Structures are given as structure tokens and as C-alpha cells.
């Protein structure tokens, strides 16, 4: 029986992608060799890498605008330090909207003057800060567009003259914004793009080469650009499966089309939370995430009932993060509307049995 997979990440991928990915493991492009047994310099894999980077730029509408797409390793956590290593010379500003922003700021402090411009820590990060002033002399301003743990999301990107750097790990490719506002975007693959093991970095080339420190090769964006993400052996499987997911997204109408579906899924779920008195939302309404829906029971005595209903309906991955509690339904691109409806049915069913 089909599982309804609301896992926060690694998370659901399109069924077709999973199928093709397994087929590639057995036999890539009819070569009688496994994808994971061939040289990364082979024609088969070079085409996969080129296709993945091209699709990423195309889907984000960033072609021919001075950006390069890289598939690196180490997750967003490696980008926390790489962004600072490559770009922090005098002062960088961070907007703190949760656990991951906090870590990004902490790592940057290894490399220089990294300051917190605004924070929503005072309310356990249940909102996105607004009405703060941004220094004009920053090397960059860093934001986290979607906060997986807390279920908040920027619905307006801050206006700034500084280079804008963004951790977009949990909402890249899910909604249509003007991506050219950003000087650098990074995203761990394991939400909307592919399996864990690779990180997409989209970087405007002209922001690089301006710091005075030596940068080790593996941490230097310029080297990865020069080597087209092949400075050393790339994470072949993760790049391949990311390419398949980006192909799936393109075939299904791209970001505009998926955004419509994501809004529909989120609206249905938030409407249930707001209309069903057994539940309450965690994030401030105006900052609610289209990707991670955080909510709780109004009465914890119903927990056992609700958890059992979820299990019986084959719903998995809805436990909230320990720092928020309650529940979190992650409704990424690949999650069907039907799975959201199953969850909503269970939420409504709870009323009939208590």
C-alpha cells in the first residue's frame, strides 16, 4: 500500500524519478554498465552533469545572466563556510530565521565580521523579521528563504544593494520568484531536487575573486566553475537523480506550474488547520511556508488518537522537529495533492472519534 510521505528531508521524489534512478543503477543508457561503475569523465556522465547544470539555470530563468550552476558536496552546511571563505572580507550581515540561519552565521564568524541584522528568535522563529535596517557596506546579506523546522518562508525578498546570498535548500524550484535578485543561491538537493549527497550552487561569477585570503581548492568556487563541477570525482548518483528530477519538473510545466499546485496543497492544509478547532498553526499566518506546514493539536490528549489515525492511513514523516513539537507536514513538489487530502481527512476524522 502506498505511503504518504511527508518527510522533511531527505524527502519524497517523483515516482518516475525513483524508477529511472534504479534503472540507471542497473544499466545506464543501455551500456550494460551501472551508472555507478563508469568514469565521471565518460561521455555518458559528462552529458548528465551538463544537462543537470543547464536545466537548473533554465528552470530558474538564469540563463545568460552571468550565473554558473555547480553541483558540489557537503550540503548547505559546507556552503555556510564556503560562502564566507570566498566572499567575506570586511563585514557580512545575516538575518536569523531559525536553526540553519544561526549555524550559517556561526560558521561565517570563523572568517571575519559577521553580524546579525535581525532575528525572530524571540518567538522561537515563528515569523520572518521585517522593518529592520540593513547596513549598505556589507560584503553580502545572507537569508534563508524557507525555514524547514519552523515552517516559515519569506514571501517578499528583502531589498538591498548588497550582494544577496540565500540558503534555498527547502524551497528551491518550488515557486516563481525573481532569482536574479540573488548573487548566490545554494540548496542541498534532498528536498525538491534529488537525493542527499549533492548541493546546487548558483553563483554570479563577477562576485568572486575579491577576498584577500588563500582559498583551498575544494572550497574555491572559481576552481569548481573552471572545472565545471569536475575538479574531483563528483557524487555521480546524486547528480544523475537530480537531473532526472529537474527533467520531471520541466516536463510538468516548470516552476510556474508546480507553484500553482504547491499553493493549492498548502491552502487546503492551512484552511483545515484554521477551521478545525482541534488544530492550531505554529507559524504566523503571513509568513507560512508553502513547503513545511507546522501545526499542533490544541489538546495534547488527542495525540494518541491522531497518531494512530495517521499510521492507519499510511501517513509517514509528520512528527514535528523537537525544537517546535507537534506536527510538520512537508509538502514538497513531488507530494501528490491526494496525499494532502488523505492527511486532511485524518484531521477531520479525529473530530468524529474523540
- Minimal distance, residue 151 CB to a copy of itself, in Å: 17
Cα–Cα distance measured from residue 183 to residue 202, given in angstroms and rounded to the nearest whole number: 8
Q: Which is nearer to a copy of itself, 110 or 348 (CB)?
A: 110
Which residues are catalytically annotated? 100, 167, 191
- Minimal distance, residue 79 CB to a copy of itself, in Å: 9
Cα–Cα distance measured from residue 148 to residue 49, given in angstroms and rounded to the nearest whole number: 28
What crossing angle do the helices spanning 99-108 and 75-87 adopt, rounded to 10°? 40
- Minimal distance, residue 252 CB to a copy of itself, in Å: 18
Mapped to the 3 state alphabet, what secondary structure does 43-66 carry?
Answer: HHHHHHHHHHHHHHHHHCCCCCCC
Q: Which is nearer to a copy of itself, 55 or 239 (CB)?
A: 239
- 506550474: which residue's cell? 257
Q: Which is nearer to a copy of itself, 194 or 281 (CB)?
A: 194
Q: Which is nearer to a copy of itself, 15 or 161 (CB)?
A: 15
List residues bridging with 204 in a β-sheet.
67
Q: Which residues bind a copy of itself (CB under 8 A)?
A: 1-3, 5, 7-13, 18-19, 21-23, 25-26, 31-34, 36-40, 73-78, 80-81, 103, 106-107, 110, 188, 190, 194-198, 214-219, 231-238, 241, 316-317
Spatial contact of 103 and 149, defined as CB atoms under 8 Å apart: no
- Minimal distance, residue 152 CB to a copy of itself, in Å: 20
Spatial contact of 315 and 5, defined as CB atoms under 8 Å apart: no
Q: Establish whether the linkage from the previous residue to 183 is cis, with ω within 30° of 0.
A: no
Q: How many CB atoms lie within 10 A of CB 31?
A: 13
Amino acid at each position: 500500500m502506498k505511503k504518504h510521505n511527508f518527510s522533511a528531508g531527505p524527502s519524497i521524489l517523483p515516482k518516475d524519478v525513483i524508477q529511472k534512478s534504479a534503472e540507471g543503477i542497473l544499466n545506464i543508457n543501455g551500456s550494460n554498465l551501472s551508472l555507478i561503475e563508469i568514469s565521471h569523465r565518460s561521455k555518458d556522465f559528462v552529458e548528465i552533469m551538463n544537462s543537470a547544470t543547464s536545466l537548473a539555470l533554465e528552470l530558474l530563468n538564469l540563463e545568460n545572466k552571468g550565473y554558473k550552476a555547480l553541483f558540489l558536496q557537503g550540503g548547505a552546511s559546507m556552503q555556510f563556510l564556503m560562502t564566507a571563505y570566498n566572499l567575506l572580507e570586511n563585514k557580512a550581515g545575516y538575518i536569523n530565521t531559525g536553526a540553519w540561519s544561526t549555524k550559517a552565521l556561526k560558521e561565517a564568524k570563523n572568517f571575519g565580521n559577521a553580524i546579525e541584522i535581525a532575528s525572530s528568535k524571540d518567538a522561537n522563529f515563528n515569523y520572518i523579521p521585517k522593518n529592520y535596517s540593513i547596513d549598505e557596506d556589507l560584503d553580502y546579506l545572507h537569508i534563508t528563504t524557507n525555514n524547514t523546522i519552523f515552517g516559515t518562508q519569506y514571501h517578499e525578498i528583502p531589498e538591498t544593494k548588497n550582494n544577496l546570498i540565500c540558503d534555498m535548500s527547502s524551497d528551491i524550484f518550488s515557486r516563481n520568484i525573481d532569482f536574479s535578485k540573488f548573487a548566490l543561491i545554494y540548496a542541498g538537493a534532498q528536498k525538491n531536487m534529488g537525493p542527499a549527497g549533492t548541493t546546487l550552487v548558483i553563483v554570479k561569477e563577477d562576485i568572486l575573486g575579491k577576498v584577500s585570503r588563500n582559498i583551498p581548492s575544494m572550497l574555491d568556487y572559481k576552481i569548481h566553475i573552471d572545472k565545471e563541477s569536475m575538479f574531483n570525482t563528483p557524487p555521480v548518483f546524486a547528480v544523475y537523480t537530480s537531473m532526472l528530477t529537474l527533467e520531471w519538473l520541466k516536463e510538468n510545466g516548470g516552476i510556474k506550474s508546480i507553484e500553482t499546485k504547491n499553493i493549492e496543497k498548502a491552502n487546503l492544509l492551512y484552511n483545515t488547520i484554521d477551521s478545525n478547532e482541534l488544530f492550531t498553526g505554529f507559524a504566523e499566518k503571513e509568513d507560512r511556508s508553502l513547503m513545511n506546514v507546522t501545526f499542533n493539536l490544541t489538546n495534547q490528549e488527542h495525540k494518541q488518537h491522531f497518531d494512530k489515525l495517521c499510521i492507519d492511513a499510511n501517513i509517514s514523516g509528520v512528527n514535528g522537529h523537537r525544537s517546535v513539537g507537534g506536527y510538520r507536514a512537508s509538502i514538497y513538489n513531488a507530494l501528490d495533492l491526494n496525499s494532502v487530502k488523505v492527511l486532511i481527512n485524518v484531521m477531520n476524522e479525529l473530530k468524529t472519534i474523540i
